[in-house]
Structure 1
Amino acid sequence: MHIKTWHAVLFLALMSCALVIVELPQTTWLTSAALSLSFGAAAVALMGAAALLGGRWKSVESLFGGLDRVYLTHKWLGIWALVFASFHFVFKANLEAWQTASIISLPPYYTRLARQLSFIALMLIVMLALNRKIPYSVWRWWHKLSGPLFLIVILHWLSFKSPIALDSPAGIWLATLSALGVAAAGYKLLLYPFLANHAEYRIVEANSGANALHLELAPVKRALSFEPGQFGFIRMKEDGLREPHPFTIASHSEPDGHVHFVIRALGDYTHKLVKEASAGMYADIYAPYGRFRRLPASEREVWIGGGVGISPFIAWLTDQSAKNLEKVTLFYFFTPGREFPSAEVLDDLARQYGAEFIPVSTGPSSPEFIRRFGEIAQNAGPAAVDISFCGPKGLLKRIQALMRENKIPDANLRYEYFEFR
Structure 2
Amino acid sequence: MSVNARHAVVFLVAISFGLSALSVPAETRLGIASLSLASGVAGFSLMAGAALLASRWRWLEAVFGGLDRVYQVHKWLGIWALVMASVHLAFKAGLSSWDVAPILSLPGDVTRLVRQLSFVALMLIVLLALNRKIPFSTWRWWHKLSGPFLLIVIAHWLSIKSPILLHSPAGWWLAGMATLGVLGAGWKLLLYPWLSSHADYRIVGVTPGQSAVRIELLPTGRAIAFRPGQFGFLVLQVEGLREPHPFTLAGAPDAEGRVVFMIRALGDHTRRLVAEAVPGMLAAVYAPFGKFERRANSTCEIWIAGGVGISPFLAWLDDAQASGLERVNLFYFHTPGRSFPAPHELAELTAARGVALTCIDSGPDSPAFADALTTIVRNAGAENVDIDFCGPAGLLHATRALL
Separation in structure 2 between the aligned mates of residue 77 and residue 110 of structure 1, nearest angstrom? 28
Partner of 2:400: 400
Q: Does 1:345 align with 2:345?
A: yes
2:240 equivalent to 1:262: no
Mapped pair 1:97 → 2:97: yes
Report the Cα distance in structure 2 between the residues aligned to 1:61 and 1:132, rounded to whole angstroms: 25
Q: Which residues in structure 2 correspond to 1:369-388 (within 5 Å)?
A: 369-388=369-388
Query: Shift in Å at residue 60 of structure 1?
Result: 1.6
Partner residue in 2 for 1:288: 288
Which residue pairs with 2:17 in the alignment?
17
Match of 1:60 in 2: 60
Q: Map 1:122-201 onto structure 2 (within 5 A).
A: 122-201=122-201
What code does the residue aligned with 1:49 have? G
Q: Distance in 2 between matches of 1:374 and 1:118?
A: 54
Aligned position for 1:238: 238
Report the alpha carbon displacement of residue 17 of structure 1 after superposing the two structures with TM.
Answer: 0.8
Residue number in structure 2 paired with 1:72: 72
In the superposition, the TM-score normalised over structure 1's length comes to 0.94
**Matched residues, percent identical?**
57
Q: Does 1:203 align with 2:222?
A: no
Unaligned 5+ segments in structure 2 are none
Runs of 5+ unmatched residues, structure 1: 404-421
CA distance in 2, matches of 1:209, 1:144: 34
1:341-364 Cα deviation digits (max 9, x unpaired): 111111111100001111111100
Q: Please report how far the alpha carbon of residue 67 of structure 1 lies from its aligned counterpart in structure 2 after TM superposition.
A: 0.5
Residues 253-312 of structure 1: CA deviation (Å, up to 9, x unaligned): 111111111100111111111111111111000000011111132221111111111100
Alpha-carbon separation, structure 1, partners of 2:270 and 2:59: 30
Paired positions, count: 403
Does the 8 Å contact 1:233/1:245 carry over to 2?
yes
- Could you state the TM-score of these two structures normalised by the residue count of structure 2? 0.99
**What amino acid sits opposite 1:74 in the alignment?**
H
* Structure 1 residue 139: Cα displacement: 0.9
Task: Specify the SS of the correspondent of 1:322.
Answer: coil
Alpha-carbon separation, structure 1, partners of 2:302 and 2:112: 58
Instruction: Let me know the Cα RMSD of the aligned residues.
Output: 0.9
Give the residue type in structure 2 aligned to 1:3.
V
What is the distance in 1 between the residues matched to 2:291 and 2:127?
29
- Map residues 297-376 of structure 1 onto 2, 5 A cutoff: 297-376=297-376
Q: Deviations over 1:109-139 (max 9, x none)?
A: 1111111111111111111111111111111
Query: In 1, Cα distance between the equivalents of 2:61 and 2:151?
Result: 24
Q: What CA distance in whole angstroms lies between the structure 2 residues aligned with 1:187 and 1:199?
A: 18
Check the 8 A contact 1:296/1:323 in 2, yes or no: no
How far did residue 107 of structure 1 move? Answer: 1.6
Q: C-alpha distance in 1, partners of 2:11/2:370? A: 40
**1:315 alignment partner, SS class:** helix
Tell me the distance in 1 between the aligned counterparts of 2:78 and 2:319.
38
After superposition, give the CA deviation of every residue in 1:34-60 in whole Å (9 maximum; x if it has no partner). 011001000101111110000011112
In 2, the alpha carbon distance for the partners of 1:232 and 1:109 equals 47
State how far apart, in whole Å, the 2-side matches of 1:26 and 1:314 are.
61
Q: Which letter maps to 1:270?
A: T
Q: Distance in 2 between matches of 1:192 and 1:292?
A: 24
Measured after TM superposition, the shift of residue 214 of structure 1 is 0.4
